[in-house]
Each structure stands twice: as structure tokens, then as C-alpha cells.
Amino acid sequence: MSGAQRTGNTVRVHPRLSLNQATIRRAPLADAVKVTVAAGVGSIGLWREPVTDVGLPAAAALVRAAGLRVSSLCRGGFMTASEPAARRAALDDNRRAIAEAAALGTAELVLVVGGLPAGSRDLAGARQRVRDAIGELVPDALAAGVRLAIEPLHPMYAADRAVVSTLAQALDIAEQFPAAAAGVVVDTFHVWWDPDLLAQIARAGSAGRIASYQVCDWITPLPADVLLARGLPGDGHIDFGPVTAAVTAAGYRGDVEVEVFNQAVWDAPWADVAAAVVRSFAEHIPLPAGAP
Amino acid sequence: MSGAQRTGNTVRVHPRLSLNQATIRRAPLADAVKVTVAAGVGSIGLWREPVTDVGLPAAAALVRAAGLRVSSLCRGGFMTASEPAARRAALDDNRRAIAEAAALGTAELVLVVGGLPAGSRDLAGARQRVRDAIGELVPDALAAGVRLAIEPLHPMYAADRAVVSTLAQALDIAEQFPAAAAGVVVDTFHVWWDPDLLAQIARAGSAGRIASYQVCDWITPLPADVLLARGLPGDGHIDFGPVTAAVTAAGYRGDVEVEVFNQAVWDAPWADVAAAVVRSFAEHIPLPAGAP
């Protein structure tokens, strides 16, 4: 892990830094909250499973009592099923996720839209069903004051995780609905390679569609499990300067999440990981000063 | 491996099928030629290393004597170095590759353009150097009657193999030069996920830029070595119908290569692999009848 930008002996914690819970995924929610606060981080990105483990009201009380902002809830989505019962179940689950996001005090529900249904090769059909499912959820999202934050995943996950693969594609869907109901996630790990990235960030920002900016590095060689192929900013190949500048120029002033899926990170003590996140962020993510 | 479209007991070998040598990569050139002919396949895609192993004139004589077309030569490229000596060396190597392609009787030299130089995060700079290097090679290509066939590689290789990641990006480069000098490769494995794929194939075809159509399936889970994450058509998630129809509608009538990097395929007897390629192609690649 990287060096640090220090003020005296202390690394300055950027007021817009948010620790995504997946980065310390083995920590139960109470521990994750404690670690985040102890690291001086003002915001946390939550996941539904650890929230469910303690119960929604207790989870909401925990983060509120700690004075943390909740930058987003991960995750809804998985809405590519064609079979009617499976489709209904997915929509119902997304409605629960919308309600959970509202209860937790975040306006952003991250959607990982899902891959091809088992045995299907109909990519265009799966993509159409994603669009249609989002359309069905928009009234629920508007009523709850929660935004559906469509996350394009790296194209290497197109078959089995998310048929939305680029920022342009996510925006093509989001723009069919009000900006308060549908936005996009810019996660550097997933989109850094895109020749059209800076233009699409500008497009997203001009329409107020950036729901979340997540920073995470691309490391090589890819590990055996490509779901864990992520590094802290500075550990890999991504130049965070131009992307972050584009996100800022596009008008985004919200929290910036560090979300890293990496076995070595998960195996490290949580407080060490939080400290490394703070250092990595201070050194590699050139945000303007100021709170969200 | 898959079932087959048979005429009586015999699988019809499509006259435009080409066996890319990488699919039977352990076979020396003489064996690869023998296996290709024995399978009834009329065309072969060559790689430089096995050609060099026997010597260029002997290699050219071998394929000519066998009556095979050479659909392409793999590969030039690796032109992202910024250091002047390394850059000159890359250009020189590409000039040799152009000469080899001409001597082997193919008009298409496949370019894998290269990843980020070691320690560099300047993706935009690497991409600019690719464009500039191709510009420098265009006169050599025109003089030799060989086309620089820019291959967009899957975005998961953007850091370490090829900074050209989409068909649109490859076309943006190719279109700066005459169509006789610069084209693009459409390899299903690399581009199948692209929401803009069919439109970009039409764009490529209308300008006569499709230099090669390669078919190869996307399998999950990805194996530990993602360079080997490929399957024969029918073994994975790609729907070859719409892509092949788009390539045909775009006017492409050249050879169609089966190029599969897969350890299990490499470990199988070469004649079995060639037979499986013929079957897979007959069943999953809906080309119109007719020779190239």
C-alpha cells in the first residue's frame, strides 16, 4: 500500500471519502461503523446482507448514532430473468431494497443488473428486460426519494454479472427516466479502459446523473478469481487524475467511495485497511477541498 | 464439443472456414498444414513464430504446395513503447511482419497493439502512440499490398495486451488511413459484449474495413489464466447468429477464422481439434453458402 499525503504526522481525511463496506467485508455492521469513525471517515457505503444481519431499524440507528452519512446501498438489480415468477421476485426484491435505502438515509441504490439467464445467449433481450424492469421500479424509487444507480460493470462480467457494460449504455437507460429516479455509477475499475469515458462522464454530469463515484484500481495479472481483481488506488494501472477531474468538472460533489474486492485486503485487520484507504485516497484521488 | 450439421454422415466444411494455427498451437507448421488439409479446410491463419521455425521461404512453399489460402498472419503490433529505441525496434519488427505477410500470400497482418508500458498509467498517451505508429507503417503496408488489421482486444486486456479495446476505437484509427492500408479485426470473443457492436460492424463494412472475422466463444467461469478463456463456438455464451449476420450484411465475404486459446483444446490431438472446429463452425456460424 502506498505512501501518504500528510499534514504534520497526520494524513488528512478528505471530507468526501466514503468507505464502502465491501472493502472490509468480514466486519459486521457495528464493527464497520466503528472502524470507519475511528479512521476519521465521514461516510460509509452499506451492503444489504450485513444490514439484514442486524435488522434494518438497528442498522439505521447504528449509522445515525455514529454520525455517518450513508453514501449508497449495494445492491439491487439482478433483473434479467425472463421467466415471469423469477422476474416478479426480482422486482419485489428491488422494491425492498428501495425501502431499505430510504430507511438507511441514502438516496442512492446501486444496481448490478445481472447477467444472462442460465442457458440463454440473448444478450439484447436481457438488456431490454433491464430497461423494462427499471421502468417498472421508477415510480417506487420516486415515491421513496431513492435513485436507481445503474452500475456498468466491466465487460468481462457481461455473461454472468451485468449485461450493462459501459457508461454510455447505462446512460441510454437512465435518460429515459427522471434524473431523480435513475442515475449511473462511475466505478473506475469497471470503466477506466473505455475510450469514450471522459465524454460519457461529462454527459452524465450535465444531466445530473452521477449517482456515485467509486475508486478502485485495476491490477495485473488478474487473479484466478476475477471478482477479486481489484486494488486500492495507486496499486494498479489506473490514472485517477483525469477521471477524477472529469467527474469534478461534470459537477459531482457527492461522496467518493473506495470499494475494493481483494482477498489480501479482506484478510488484513479492518483498522489497517481503513488507514490504508485514507492514505491511498489522499495520495491518488485529486478532489477539490470541501465537504459534500 | 458440439453436435454437427451433417450431409449424410459427413459434416460439410464451409468453404470460408479458416483454421487459425493458434487453435492447434503445439503443431509445427508442416503438421498444422497437414491437419488443415486433412480436415478439408481450405484456409489457414498463420502465426509468425511457427513460420520462423521453418524459415519464411519454406513456410510459404508449404502452404502454397498444400493449396491453402492464408487468411491472415498473426501478429504485428506491440507499438506502445515511448522510449525511442524501443519504439524504433517495434516499428522495425512490424516492417518485417509486413514483409512476411506478403511473402506468405496474405493481405491481412493482425495487430495486437500492446498494453501500457511498464510503470506507465498514461492510457491516452499509449493510444496516441498506436495511432502514430500505424501512420508510420502505412506506406510500408501499401507498398507491400498488406493491410494493417487492428484488433480490438477485450477491455480486460487493456492494461497489459492491447490499449485498443473497442471496434469503434479501432475504426477511429483505421479511418485516418486508406482502406487498403488499415482495417479492423472482428473477433467475437473480444467484442461480443459491446452494446454498439452491430452498428460498428456496419460502419466497418460500409468502408471496406473488415480485414478479418474471427469466431471464438466466451466461457464462464473465466479460467485462472484469462488468456485461455476461450471456447469453440457453441461452448459458451455468445450468440453467433446476429454477429455473423451483421458481418455478412456489412459485405464481408472473406475467410472466417476459428481462433481458440484454450488449454484443453491445445492438449487434444490436432486432428480431433480440426474435426471439432469443422463441426462447431457448421453448427453455429450461419454464413451464406459460397466460396470467398
Matching residue, cell 424492469: A133
Q: What's the mean pLDDT in A112-134?
A: 98
pLDDT in tens, B152-187: 999 999 999 999 999 999 999 999 999 999 999 999
Q: How far is A31 from chain B (nearest CA, A)?
A: 33
Chain B contact set for A200 (CB, 8 A): none
Domain count, chain A: 1
Residue B291 lies in a domain: no
Contact: A155, B218; criterion CB under 8 Å: no
Low-confidence winner among A33-37, A201-205, A266-270 (lowest mean pLDDT): A266-270
- Asked if the C-beta of A123 comes within 8 angstroms of chain B's C-beta atoms, the answer is yes
Residues of A in contact with B156 (CB under 8 A): 154-156, 222, 226
Q: Please report the pLDDT score of residue A114 as a whole number.
A: 98
DSSP designation for A22: G
Task: Say if A202 falls within a structural domain.
Answer: yes
| Residues linked to residue A185 through DSSP beta bridges, in sequence order | A212
Instruction: Pick the range with the lowest mean pLDDT from A91-105, A257-271, B133-147, B168-182.
Output: A257-271
Beta partners for residue A148, in sequence order: A109, A182
What pLDDT, in 10s, does the model give residues B246-289? Answer: 999 999 999 999 999 888 889 999 999 999 999 999 999 999 99
Give the C-alpha separation, A215 to A173, whole Å: 23
pTM over 0.90: yes
Touching B: A residues 246-265, CB under 8 Å: none
With beta carbons under 8 A apart, name residues in chain A contacting B160.
220-221
Reported confidence tier of residue B2, pLDDT bands at 50, 70, 90 = very low
**A-interface mutation test, from B219, B226, B238, B243, most A Cβ less than 10 A away:** B226
Contact assignment for B123 to A193 by CB distance below 8 Å: yes
What average pLDDT score do residues B60-69 get? 98
Question: How many Å apart are CA A216 and CA A222, to the nearest integer?
Answer: 14
Which CATH number is B235's domain given?
3.20.20.150
Q: Would A289 be classed as within a structural domain?
A: no
Which three cell numbers, joined as nine digits, stand for B82? Answer: 515511448
| Number of CB pairs, chain A paired with chain B, less than 8 A apart | 78
Under the banding of pLDDT at 50, 70 and 90, the label for residue B226 is low
The A residues from 226 to 245 touching B (CB cutoff 8 Å) are: 226, 236-239, 242
In a domain? residue A102? yes
Is A158's CB within 8 Å of B192's CB? yes
Residue A258 is given by DSSP the state E
Got the DSSP string for B176-241?
TS-TTTEEEEEEHHHHTT-TTHHHHHHHHHHTT-EEEEEE-EE-SSPPSSGGG-EE-TTSSS--HH
pLDDT at B222: 78
List CB contacts (< 8 A) between B169 and chain A. 195
pLDDT in tens, A225-258: 766 678 999 999 999 999 999 999 999 999 999 9
Using the beta-carbon criterion (under 8 Å), do A236 and B194 form an inter-chain contact?
A: no
Q: Is residue A290 part of a domain?
A: no
Mean pLDDT of A205-219: 96
Q: Name the residue among B123, B221, B238 with its Cβ closest to that of A121.
A: B238
Nearest to B156 among A169, A222, A236 (CB): A222
- Domain that includes residue B40, residue range: 6-284
> Nearest Cβ partner of B158 from A166, A193, A196?
A193
Q: Which three cell numbers stand for residue B27?
A: 503443431
Q: Is residue A71 part of a domain?
A: yes
**pLDDT at B91 exceeding the cut of 90:** yes
Interface of B with A in 139-168 (CB under 8 A): 154-156, 158-160, 165-166, 168
Whether B292 is in a domain gets the answer no
What Å distances lie between residue A245 and A201, A207, B237, CA to CA?
10, 17, 37
CA separation for the pair A280, B6 (Å, rounded): 60
Q: Which three cell numbers stand for residue A179?
A: 434524473
Q: Does B125 contact A at CB distance below 8 Å?
A: no
Residues of A in contact with B124 (CB under 8 A): 242
Task: Indicate whether B289 belongs to any domain.
Answer: no
Chain A residues within an 8 Å CB radius of B222? 156, 226
**What backbone phi and psi angles, to 5 degrees, belong to A203?**
-60, -45
